[in-house]
Amino acid sequence: MGLKLGVIASGSGSNLQSIINAVKEGRLDGEIAVILSDNPEAYALERGKLSGIATEVVELDRDSTREAHDEKVVAALKKHGVDTVALAGYLLMVTPVLLDAFPLRVINIHPALLPSFPGTGVQQDAIDHGAKFSGCTVHFVDEGMDTGPIIIQAVVPIRDDDTAKTLGARILREEHRIYPQALQYLAEGRLKIVGRRVVLDPQSPASGTLHNPAVSS
């Protein structure tokens, strides 16, 4: 059965676009029932309108709690029949109110190889640390900051002349590949959570080892 997705984005929504494209091209079994943002100016909302997808704005009310905010978010998602929530550049931490409404159905993408470099500004963090690789991670969301069980990761090399911008662009290209794929695995019912591990059934392991810089023998 296909997913009924609610995509939540605060900004440009290029990951949202990769999901829209995957649905349109038949690579992702499901539909985007609604695009929700806390930011009325988010270009993600425009992308939704351009594709004829329903949009909702739930702005953060500084005088109310984050739980009260998430109650409004859950109501908006349920109104559109959402069964799976994809966070795509959502800048707010979610609370148990949202997680309990969609148990094991809230997914996020993060522009680093978790558990290294959680949080924000992580492209620069990876460069500053001197890491030779970074990448991106699609994971189930739990109550922690970028701590939930990992579904797929993609690795990209860090070059000596990289800036946060050049590295971020290289990572983003891979984000656009792994996010729709992770959602498709979920749609196919192939993801089993065993403790902290997400097992893909049947498995489809990566082959090959990466070195950076190159190794001559």
Among the residue ranges 6-14, 57-65, 183-191, 209-217, the one whose residues contact ligand GRF (CB under 6 A): 6-14
State yes or no: residue 89 binds ligand GRF (CB under 6 A).
yes
Question: Segment 128-167, which members bind ligand GRF (CB under 6 A)?
Answer: 136
State yes or no: residue 14 binds ligand GRF (CB under 6 A).
yes
State yes or no: residue 51 binds ligand GRF (CB under 6 A).
no
Please select the residue that binds ligand GRF; options are 4, 12, 38, 118, rule is CB under 6 A: 12
Q: Does 110 participate in catalysis according to the annotation?
A: yes
Q: How far is CA 196 from CA 72, 139, 178, in A?
A: 30, 11, 20
- Using CB under 6 A as the binding criterion, the count of chain residues that bind ligand GRF stands at 14
Burial class (CB in 10 A: 0-12, 13-18, 19+), 168: middle
State yes or no: residue 47 binds ligand GRF (CB under 6 A).
no
Q: Could you give the CA distance from residue 11 to residue 183 in angstroms, rounded to a whole number? A: 20
Q: In the structure encoding, which two tokens stand for residue 117, read together? A: 């470099």
State yes or no: residue 48 binds ligand GRF (CB under 6 A).
no
DSSP code at position 55: E
Please select the residue that binds ligand GRF; options are 3, 5, 8, 9, rule is CB under 6 A: 9
DSSP code at position 31: E
Name the helix (H) or strand (E) containing 98.
helix 96-101
Pairing of strands 84-87, 3-8: parallel
Residues lying near ligand GRF in the complex (CB under 6 A) are found at 9, 11-15, 88-89, 109-111, 136, 172, 175
